Amino acid sequence: MGRRVTLADVASAAGVSTATVSYVLNDRQGHSIPEGTRVRVRDAARDLGYTPSSAARTLARGRSDIVLLLVPELPLGHVLVGIMEGLTRGCARLGLQLLARLPLPGEDLERLCREIMPAAVIVLLDPDPRPLARIRDLGVPVTQWGAGPSAPGDDSEKVPVPTDAVGRLQAGTLVTHGHTRLAFLEPADAALRPLVEGRFAGVDRYCAERGLEPPVRLRVERAGASSRTLRRCVDDGVTGLCVYNDDLALSVLAAAHAAKLSIPGSIAVIGVDDIPAGQWTDPPLTTIAFELDTISARILNHVVRALGLPAPALDSAGEPELVVRMRGSVG
Amino acid sequence: MGRRVTLADVASAAGVSTATVSYVLNDRQGHSIPEGTRVRVRDAARDLGYTPSSAARTLARGRSDIVLLLVPELPLGHVLVGIMEGLTRGCARLGLQLLARLPLPGEDLERLCREIMPAAVIVLLDPDPRPLARIRDLGVPVTQWGAGPSAPGDDSEKVPVPTDAVGRLQAGTLVTHGHTRLAFLEPADAALRPLVEGRFAGVDRYCAERGLEPPVRLRVERAGASSRTLRRCVDDGVTGLCVYNDDLALSVLAAAHAAKLSIPGSIAVIGVDDIPAGQWTDPPLTTIAFELDTISARILNHVVRALGLPAPALDSAGEPELVVRMRGSVG
DNA sequence: GCGCATCAGTTAAGCGCATAACTAAGGTAC
DNA sequence: GTACCTTAGTTATGCGCTTAACTGATGCGC
């Protein structure tokens, strides 16, 4: 198991003091250290297999290099996992460690942050904002990828989840394919409220701007859409259905089958998320996909700015975060 | 932002030395400290809002109280998320912090462990076992929830993912409902190989033991089952289909619809995972569900044992890790 | 030849906690 | 009364790293 290789070991191997090693390995400015010495230090570190102790560094610096990712208690679809992957990779490039935590209900997040002193906190979706404020008071920058309205003051720390844009894109896709009377189908789940509202608003405004009839708003109380709801929809003259997400859209497809309604003949359906199962349905599900790399880059840019890192901004400004995957359920 | 409240602050508030505070707050044995003093210390800690610095503790002890959870790069279905939740809760009760990491391809996990000195590492599913061995050499206990064969020596550190049992339960359910000629449908994905093999083996052995014909083994190359495959299956006299998981089973349902094959009339279908979407299909999907709390308790018991914690073993020995959810796709 | 700037480092003081080793006071046994 | 044990603590060191402050040598202008 062997004793740990410390800075001091590297220092004596390289014939310098620990301070010098620290300066070299951290690339600190303001210290003239000739290249020859730098090389000796780096070689020694490599040869000895030196790995810094994050605990010691944290203690000395007052903040760790952990970026704490608070993930929601919802099942983590492939969208969230994809974003996590992008964030993990991006943090690694910045010399930070992305570690994810599923906050437990009733847990004291501020305390958690006092314990581990993360360099930054990234929050996915919209938890209770009050603990976040207290984390900020600790001096830890909090970046939120969320849908709710920005609280006053944290505008700069919130990367918006596209919601309005999703709704517009759904509606636009349907309208482009000739549908003029739309409906919006949403789950009842309270946790999803901010997302639901945003997406509906997008559909609603899109219709308003084009002078179309306002969309019919439908809510599914539990486990999937019913054939009844669907049939009523069709009877009302709705021909295009924007569904909150692909999971729910799958249930719509099933209900349509059961009700002998053809898709997209009787009614066109578009979901959100681009889940794999959507490729296997009959017809394959047309959907809105999130561009995961673009989204994680935007989140990381906020973190970089908040930490004042001299990092090459991952440029993601111009790229789209959403794309339409045309498959077969929209005509 | 205020200075951090340290042990020393608590000590002077309680009128004792920092050593005493440390002993009290950590409940260390072998030190006679009267209840009165204990109360004074604890009150002071509470009143001041003391939170220990995990960095300092880690540095002093040589190991942190982080339990590193290495999650696979696969999309995290609700099974894995459910287990994560159970582990997070369980660790919290043990005074540990569960933090999850998505290992990046090519990343040096041993180095990561030298950096953060986790109290333990939990690995979900089956990554390359070699880095795991090197982590163990660091003295960090590694608990794996995996399907592959136990490597020699780590038997005790591996909690088996039920695979054989899943296959048996699928086959058993179909047989109980009168099906005697079975098939097994699997994805081609190489990452899933150990799970696939185990589940097939379960089906296969079950059939052998009952004197039934050996199951037909079918593989889906990409994106969902085809109607052709299904029809061939039926033509071969197969009436019961064990599908690798619910995602794939949904594609089977769709294919059956397309092929005008009735389920379970022409062929019965059973999946694995109990994904939500399975409740909304037509017919609703019968499936094998994992008992997530039981599984996370078993994993944690291994961790507790490996760390030699004096913890109340979360008793999960007798409980089933699998249950059948009868819905409609099996007869 | 002196003062001053620059270079190339070093010294040493923490960061907050755990813990081995010690102490001082009081009680007991004989 | 002395030797010893227990109780109830304290002292002080070290975990590995960062960083402000310092030092000694060299070069340069004039």
**What is the secondary structure of B187-224 as a DSSP string?**
E--GGGHHHHHHHHHHHHHHHHHTTPPPPEEEEE-SSS
**Is residue B14 over pLDDT 90?**
yes
Nearest CA in chain A to B79: A75
E strand or H helix that includes residue A100: strand A97-101
Residue B156 is predicted with a pLDDT of: 58
Confidence of residue A154 (pLDDT cuts 50, 70, 90): low
Instruction: Tell me which residue in B56, B84, B224 faces A59 most closely, judged by beta carbons.
Output: B56
**Is residue B25 over pLDDT 80?**
yes
Interatomic CA distance for residues A154 and B162, integer angstroms: 47
Which letter does DSSP use for residue A276 in this model?
G
Q: Give percent of chain A above pLDDT 90.
A: 72
pLDDT-wise least confident of A139-143, A295-299, B193-197: B193-197
Paired residues of A68 in beta bridges: A99, A121
**CA of B41: how far to CAs of A257, B11, B21, B29, B56, in Å?**
67, 7, 6, 16, 20
Give, as ranges, the nucleotides of chain D with any atom within 7 Å of a protein CB. Answer: 6-12, 14-21
Give, as ranges, the nucleotides of chain C with any atom within 7 Å of a protein CB. Answer: 6-12, 14-21
Minimum CA–C1' distance nucleotide for B14: D9
Question: What are B158's two structure tokens?
Answer: 């591996």
pLDDT-wise least confident of B50-59, B91-100, B121-130: B121-130
Residues of chain B with Cβ-Cβ distance to A4 below 8 Å are: 114
Residue A125 is predicted with a pLDDT of: 85
Q: Taking residues B190-198, what's their average pLDDT? A: 88
Residues 58-97 of A with CB under 8 A from B: 58-59, 64, 66, 73, 75-78, 80-81, 84-85, 88-89, 92, 97
Angle in degrees, CA B190, B196, B202, rounded to 5 = 160
Which letter does DSSP use for residue B155 in this model?
G
Residue B217 is predicted with a pLDDT of: 96
Q: Give percent of chain B above pLDDT 90.
A: 72
Contact A97 B76 (CB under 8 A): no
The Å distance, CA of B5 to C1' of C13, is 20
Residues of chain B with Cβ-Cβ distance to A89 below 8 Å are: 104
Question: What are A331's two structure tokens?
Answer: 């005509």
Residues of chain B with Cβ-Cβ distance to A281 below 8 Å are: 250-251, 254
Residue B162 is predicted with a pLDDT of: 94
Which letter does DSSP use for residue B63 in this model?
S
Minimum CA–C1' distance nucleotide for B51: C16
- Which of A89, A136, A280 is the best residue to mutate to test the B interface, defined by the most B CB atoms within 10 Å of its own CB? A280
Instruction: Answer for B16: CB within 7 Å of strand D.
Output: yes
Residue A224 is predicted with a pLDDT of: 65
Residue B188 is predicted with a pLDDT of: 87
Q: Where are any strands of DSSP class E within chain B?
A: 66-70, 97-101, 120-124, 142-146, 158-160, 182-187, 216-220, 240-243, 268-272, 286-290, 322-325
Residue A36 is predicted with a pLDDT of: 94
Residue B328 buriedness (CB in 10 A; 0-12 / 13-18 / 19+): middle
Interatomic CA distance for residues B147 and B244, integer angstroms: 14
Contact A55 B52 (CB under 8 A): no
Residue B58 is predicted with a pLDDT of: 98
Contact B59 A55 (CB under 8 A): yes
Report yes or no: B10 at the A interface, CB cutoff 8 Å.
Answer: no
Q: How many CB pairs under 8 A join A and B?
A: 153
Question: What are A169's two structure tokens?
Answer: 């894109």
**CA of B133: how far to CAs of A225, B64, B67, B127, B142, in Å?**
49, 20, 17, 12, 9
Nearest CA in chain A to B3: A138
The Å distance, CA of B192 to C1' of D4, is 69
Nearest CA in chain B to A85: B102
Q: Taking residues A74-88, what's their average pLDDT? A: 88
**Is residue A49 over pLDDT 90?**
yes
Confidence of residue B152 (pLDDT cuts 50, 70, 90): low
Report yes or no: A104 at the B interface, CB cutoff 8 Å.
Answer: yes
Q: For residue range A223-282, list pLDDT tens digits in order.
A: 567 778 899 999 999 999 999 999 889 888 878 877 889 999 999 999 999 988 788 788
Contact B102 A114 (CB under 8 A): no
Interatomic CA distance for residues A13 and A48, integer angstroms: 9
Q: Taking residues A70-85, what's their average pLDDT? A: 86
When comparing pLDDT for B30 and B119, which is higher? B119
Confidence of residue B191 (pLDDT cuts 50, 70, 90): confident
pLDDT-wise least confident of A58-67, B162-171, B253-262, B321-330: B253-262
Position of tokens 């159970």?
A: B86
The secondary structure of chain B in percent helix, strand, coil, rounded to multiples of 5, reads 45, 15, 40
The Å distance, CA of A52 to C1' of D17, is 8
Q: Taking residues B13-30, what's their average pLDDT? A: 95
Contact A100 B104 (CB under 8 A): no
Position of tokens 């339960």?
A: B169
**CA of A132: how far to CAs of A74, A110, A193, A231, B237, in Å?**
19, 8, 19, 44, 60
Q: What are phi and psi of B120, to 5 degrees?
A: -160, 160
Confidence of residue A57 (pLDDT cuts 50, 70, 90): very high
Residue A185 is predicted with a pLDDT of: 97
Paired residues of A35 in beta bridges: none
Longest dimension (CA), chain A: 85
Residue A50 is predicted with a pLDDT of: 97
Report yes or no: A115 at the B interface, CB cutoff 8 Å.
Answer: yes
Nearest CA in chain B to A140: B1
Residue A96 is predicted with a pLDDT of: 96
Chain A closest CA to B197's CA: distance in Å? 23
**Is residue A114 over pLDDT 70?**
yes
Residues 279-308 of B with CB under 8 A from A: 279-282
| Beta carbons within 10 angstroms of residue B61's beta carbon | 12
Let me know: does B57 contact B65? Beta carbons within 8 Å: yes
pTM (2 d.p.): 0.91
Could you tell me which residues come within 8 angstroms of residue B54 by beta carbon, excluding any fewer than 6 positions away? A55, A115, A116, A117, B64, B65, B66, B97
E strand or H helix that includes residue A252: helix A246-258
Residues of chain B with Cβ-Cβ distance to A276 below 8 Å are: 75, 223, 247
Interatomic CA distance for residues B289 and B272, integer angstroms: 6
Task: Round the average pLDDT of chain A to a whole number and report it.
Answer: 91
For B181, the 3-state DSSP assignment is: coil
Interatomic CA distance for residues B62 and A254, integer angstroms: 56
The Å distance, CA of B8 to C1' of D21, is 27
E strand or H helix that includes residue A208: helix A193-209
Which letter does DSSP use for residue B72 in this model?
-
Let me know: does A268 contact A179? Beta carbons within 8 Å: yes
Nearest to B218 by CA among B258, B180, B187: B187
When comparing pLDDT for A148 and B302, which is higher? B302
Task: Round the average pLDDT of chain B to a whole number and report it.
Answer: 91
Distance of CA B93 to the CA centre of its chain: 18
Instruction: Answer for A95: CB within 7 Å of strand D.
Output: no
Residue B36 buriedness (CB in 10 A; 0-12 / 13-18 / 19+): exposed
